[in-house]
């Protein structure tokens, strides 16, 4: 993420995304660690992080494009890029509801501009107590 083209993309897109997040975004909380489950192996829970990002229903295209056997996302979060969000072991909290990633956070093209995170529906029931705050 240090090449000339990457730096140019960051300079062009980050201000636009910051404005989009500010105008249309949601106040989200990134909750790190705080669980001893196998799903969340973060040994350092750290502090919660307040971010301004977009929380949107997953598109039909994204749902249909999910490989067989993987959880189908119901929501997608677009978050400002910070390197620490590339480490698993966190979930989002918004308006009293927890949203857990159903897959890895994506940094499209490795450009360090935005994280795209597929999310399950809040309160979704699983087949076991593998995710914190869910019932099984």
CB 78 within 8 A of CB 53: yes
The residue among 133, 19, 2, 3 whose CA lies nearest residue 80 is 19
Q: Name the pLDDT band for 2 (thresholds 50, 70, 90).
A: low
Q: What is the mean pLDDT of residues 59-74?
A: 76
Answer yes or no: is pLDDT of 42 > 80.
no
Whether the model clears a pTM of 0.85, i.e. scores above it, the answer is no
Answer yes or no: is pLDDT of 120 > 60.
yes
Domain coordinates of the chain in residue numbers? 14-33+47-61+71-120
- By residue count, the chain amounts to 136
């Amino acid at each position: 993420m240090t090449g000339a083209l990457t730096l140019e993309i960051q300079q062009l897109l980050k201000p636009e995304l910051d404005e989009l997040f500010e105008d249309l975004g949601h106040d989200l909380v990134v909750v790190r660690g705080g669980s001893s489950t196998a799903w969340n192996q973060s040994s350092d829970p750290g502090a919660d992080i307040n971010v301004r990002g977009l929380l949107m229903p997953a598109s039909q295209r994204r749902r249909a494009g999910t490989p067989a056997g993987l959880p189908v996302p119901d929501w997608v979060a677009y978050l400002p890029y910070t390197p620490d969000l590339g480490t698993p072991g966190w979930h989002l909290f918004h308006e009293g509801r927890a949203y857990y990633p159903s897959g890895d956070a994506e940094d499209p093209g490795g450009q360090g501009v935005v994280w795209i995170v597929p999310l399950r529906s809040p309160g979704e029931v699983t087949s076991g107590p593998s995710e914190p705050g869910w019932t099984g």
